[in-house]
């Protein structure tokens, strides 16, 4: 199993290109199931999760070609051979549930394995199922699978989400494009990935209004056609690399970055003493004079502070002046990185959904273990500013969400290398 060796090496300088969004691409790929015409995605990230979704689509009979080094995905679902998503693939990635809505909408039936548990909380799929039921789906849970039927096709309905769910909004949005009549999604997710999906579906002929707000209206159409669509910039990768010069000092430009994708995050950076400047090609980030100031953070659905940047921001707060409180309001059990940061000398006290971080002058390098995707990169960020060497173990999580992390950080002056497992 590979590890990442990081050695504290002072300020960073240069540019980091930001990839297309993993979470957007994993949602856009199942949209190919809605049409028998080709769907091509550009600016696709090159990640293990994308390869898993490729395998899942291929198991259904879809054709998926990775072109231009994997940055272009050419897909076609003109001759699907199955509407069953098997456990062996689905268990590897929760986003696999997103094939349920498109299969049911186009073919009137689908069998999709339940995804199972997750290291950062249960994340059940009940909201996905309730949304499809509101569109007339007949659902049965049997032998670990969702057996879904809509013999006469899905029909428009009103979906009232009890709380915001990105995945359920995405599944319902795709399914509703081919439903008969009008579907309204109330308390829908507002994330940029939702807007990106809606943009792609509109290019395919869907009639969608209100994406980016909490009420989305979809007028079903008889069929969708092919399209070409660029995947939106990954706002989580963007925020992660914005934190690198914040922690280490120096100045880094994140190419392709946009303020509108990370507005609430930028407000916290400013409060902490980090400068963020828009440029013609991205966002330039630099630490202002003096030590970072402690800032309180509470995670919220978009446009609030992203839960997927909480671990990385905690790494920044570990050496801030003062005490900060980080509140995790999206997922339970998402402070597993805290004990690993404490191995590096951080002072962190976790109580339920709150973590109190008292800044120290300097972290010390240590062997640490990644517990999930965002935790793994938070430990790398901490290692960049720590004294001595930090060995981050079990980084297979990292490859699910960050492409070429050693190369990107190494190009701006970080001392970082991958150590191949035995």
Q: Which residue among 194, 214, 230 closes a domain? A: 230
266 is catalytic: no
Give the confidence band of 290 by pLDDT, cuts at 50, 70, 90.
confident
Tell whether 291 and 362 lie within a shared domain.
yes
CATH of the domain at 40: 3.65.10.10
Tell whether 136 and 273 lie within a shared domain.
no
Q: Which residue among 193, 214, 230 closes a domain? A: 230
CA-to-CA distance for 128 and 148, rounded, in angstroms? 12
Tell whether 12 and 70 lie within a shared domain.
no
Tell whether 10 and 41 lie within a shared domain.
no
Tell whether 407 and 290 lie within a shared domain.
yes
Q: How many domains is the chain partitioned into structurally?
A: 2
Instruction: List pLDDT tens digits, range 90-106.
Output: 988 889 999 999 999 99
Q: Output the pTM of the full model.
A: 0.92
Report pLDDT for 116.
59
DSSP string computed for 142-158: ETTEEEEE-TT--B--E
**pLDDT exceeds 80 at position 117:** no
Its domain, for residue 29, covers 22-230
Give the confidence band of 399 by pLDDT, cuts at 50, 70, 90.
confident
Tell whether 300 and 393 lie within a shared domain.
yes
Instruction: List pLDDT tens digits, range 217-257.
Output: 999 999 999 999 999 999 999 999 999 999 999 999 999 99
Weakest mean pLDDT among 223-227, 285-289, 293-297: 285-289
Q: Which residue among 170, 204, 230 closes a domain? A: 230
Tell whether 97 and 220 lie within a shared domain.
yes
Binding-site residue positions for phosphoenolpyruvate: 22-23
Tell whether 79 and 173 lie within a shared domain.
yes
- Region 388-416: what's the mean pLDDT? 93
Burial 362-383 (b: 16+ CB within 10 A, else e): ebebbebbbbbbbbbbbbbbbb
Tell whether 121 and 245 lie within a shared domain.
no
Tell whether 255 and 353 lie within a shared domain.
yes
Tell whether 172 and 245 lie within a shared domain.
no
Of residues 118, 200, 248, 266, which has the active-site annotation?
A: 118
Whether residue 303 has a cis bond before it, omega within 30° of 0: yes
Tell whether 34 and 150 lie within a shared domain.
yes
Instruction: List pLDDT tens digits, range 52-86.
Output: 999 999 999 999 999 999 999 999 999 999 999 99
Weakest mean pLDDT among 116-125, 176-185, 241-250, 371-380: 116-125
């Amino acid at each position: 199993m590979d590890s990442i060796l990081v050695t504290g090496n002072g300020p960073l300088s240069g540019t980091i290109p930001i990839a297309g969004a993993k979470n957007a691409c994993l949602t856009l790929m199942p949209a190919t199931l809605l049409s028998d015409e080709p769907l091509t995605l550009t600016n696709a990230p090159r990640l293990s999760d994308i390869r898993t979704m490729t395998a899942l689509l291929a198991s259904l009979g879809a054709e998926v070609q990775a072109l231009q080094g994997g940055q272009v995905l050419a897909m076609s679902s003109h001759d699907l051979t199955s509407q069953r998503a098997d456990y062996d693939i689905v268990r590897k990635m929760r986003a696999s549930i997103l094939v349920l809505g498109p299969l049911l909408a186009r073919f009137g039936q689908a069998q999709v394995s339940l995804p199972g548990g997750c290291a950062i909380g249960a994340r059940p799929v009940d909201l996905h199922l309730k949304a499809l039921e509101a569109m007339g789906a007949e659902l049965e849970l049997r032998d670990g699978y969702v057996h879904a039927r809509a013999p006469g096709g899905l029909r428009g309905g009103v979906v009232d989400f009890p709380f915001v769910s990105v995945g359920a909004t995405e599944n319902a949005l795709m399914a509703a494009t081919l439903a008969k009549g009008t579907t309204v999604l109330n308390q829908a997710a507002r994330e940029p990935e939702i807007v990106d999906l809606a943009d792609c579906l509109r290019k395919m002929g869907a009639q969608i209004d209100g994406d980016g707000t909490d009420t989305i209206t979809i007028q079903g159409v008889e069929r969708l056609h092919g399209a070409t669509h660029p995947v939106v910039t990954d706002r989580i990768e963007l925020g992660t690399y914005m934190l690198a010069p914040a922690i280490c000092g120096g100045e880094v430009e994140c190419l392709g970055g946009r303020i509108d994708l990370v507005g609430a995050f930028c407000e916290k950076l400013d409060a902490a003493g980090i400068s963020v400047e828009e440029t013609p090609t991205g966002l330039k980030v630099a630490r202002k004079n003096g030590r970072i100031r402690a800032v309180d953070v509470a995670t919220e659905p978009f446009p609030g502070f992203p839960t997927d940047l909480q671990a990385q921001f905690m790494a920044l707060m570990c050496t801030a002046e003062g005490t900060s409180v980080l509140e995790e309001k999206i997922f339970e059990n998402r402070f597993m990185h805290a004990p690993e940061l404490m191995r590096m000398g951080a002072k962190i006290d976790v109580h339920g959904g709150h973590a109190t971080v008292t800044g120290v002058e300097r972290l010390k390098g240590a062997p640490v273990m990644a517990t999930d995707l965002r935790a793994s990169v938070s430990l790398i960020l901490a290692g960049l500013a720590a004294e001595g060497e930090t060995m981050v173990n079990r980084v297979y999580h990292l490859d699910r969400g960050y492409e070429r992390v050693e190369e990107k950080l190494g190009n701006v002056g970080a001392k970082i290398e991958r150590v191949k497992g035995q």
